[in-house]
Each structure stands twice: as C-alpha cells, then as structure tokens.
Amino acid sequence: EAQVTQNPRYLITVTGKKLTVTCSQNMNHEYMSWYRQDPGLGLRQIYYSMNVEVTDKGDVPEGYKVSRKEKRNFPLILESPSPNQTSLYFCASQDPSTDTQYFGPGTRLTVL
Amino acid sequence: GQSLEQPSEVTAVEGAIVQINCTYQTSGFYGLSWYQQHDGGAPTFLSYNALDGLEETGRFSSFLSRSDSYGYLLLQELQMKDSASYFCAVLTSGGSYIPTFGRGTSLIVHP
C-alpha cells in the first residue's frame, strides 16, 4: 500500500530537548516536504526537498532542520524546541506526474 | 510572494450544492489543487486544475480561471460526511513545484 508514515504520532516534550520526527514514503517520490498546521493559519511549509541531499527552506523554517540522505526518508529535527513550535506537523511526498501531495497521518507536538 | 484567499467558513444543508471560492496572487502560476481534511486527519487530494475550465470527479467539481486568478470547488448533493476543511493550494513554476496552501474553509453540513 502506497503510504507516508510519520513517527511519533504524539509527543509531549520540554523546552530545549532535541527531538526528531521521522517521515518515510514508499512511493519512490523525489519531492518531499514538511508542513505545520495551526488554527486559522492553514498549512505552512517548513522545508522541502526535491531530491536526495537537496533541501530548501519553506515559509517558516526558523527553529527547524531537515536532512535527506535517502530518497524515502525526510526527518524533521528540532534542535532546541520552544513552546511556539507546539503544533500539528505533516510530512508529505509528491507524485510528479499529477502534482498530488500524499500526506502522512500527522504528528501532534506539544512543547512545555 | 504568494497569497491565497478563501472564506473561513461555509454552512449548507444536506442535499444542497455549495461553492468554495479561492482567489490567488502569485507569479509563475502552474496549477490549483484542492484538498479535504477531516478533523484530526491528514489532508487528502481532491482535484487539480492546470487549465481553464471545469474538472468533474463524481459529486465534486473544480473550476479555474487563470485570467481572473480565481478558482472554486463545487460540492453537489452534500452529505454529512462532507463536513470538513477544504484547502486550495497553488503550484508555481520556477520554484519548488510544491504547493502553497490557503488557510482553509471549514464546511459545516446541517441535516
């Protein structure tokens, strides 16, 4: 089954404690991206990657890092989380033939 | 930069037709997509328009006018399960080809 997986699905952490949210897709897509979703603000792009070792900033990259060492994986790293990063995070991969985004199930992060 | 405008909320009754509008401002416009998101769930793809006109997929249709920088999603024969948020998203050339999303429209369907 074609899918995007994210882990963990829920995470409560404290300010300053480094964390990584993993994302993996099995569709061999080159394009992957991370979004955060906050009430009233829609989906805002954090980082995207157009291929292995090619990443670029989206609209709200501050406080985040990403890496793309393999085509299937695109982890999101918060080196020093802060409460304003409390949000719902979605990873997505894109089918280039249809420009369709396939989203993971989401990770709800709370930073205390 | 890019900007998209869509209504924050739309209400309708079961069986009715509803239209959700989206206007955009962007350079290098490539296409307009629509996604549906139920509470607590992931967005799922509904439709995509790269050319002017109407695309129909079952009860859902999407329209694009490139000259007016405008599109809409039309939902017919509304069902309770259509209560969800609907996002328009623009794709632009010369950049990432990864969509920028609007803030979403919450559709509430009443019995």
Q: What is the DSSP string of A4-29?
A: EEEE-SEEEE-TT--EEEEEEESS--
Tell me if A45 and B98 make a contact (CB, 8 A cut-off).
Answer: yes
d(CA B22, CA B44): 18
φ and ψ at B67, to 5 degrees?
Answer: -65, -30
Q: How many CB atoms lie within 10 A of CB B36?
A: 19
Chain A interface, Cβ < 8 Å to B: 31, 33, 35, 40-45, 48, 50, 56, 58-59, 90, 94, 96, 98-106
Among A3, A1, A20, A2, smallest CA distance to A80 is for: A20
Segment A37-62, tens digit of pLDDT = 999 889 999 999 999 999 999 999 99
- Does the pLDDT at position B17 exceed 90? yes
User: Does residue B88 surpass a pLDDT of 90?
Assistant: yes
Which residue type is seen at B39?
D
Measure in Å the smallest separation between the Cα of A76 and chain B Cα atoms: 17
Instruction: Give the pairing of strands A107-111 and A10-13.
Output: parallel
Token pair recorded at residue B82: 């259509």
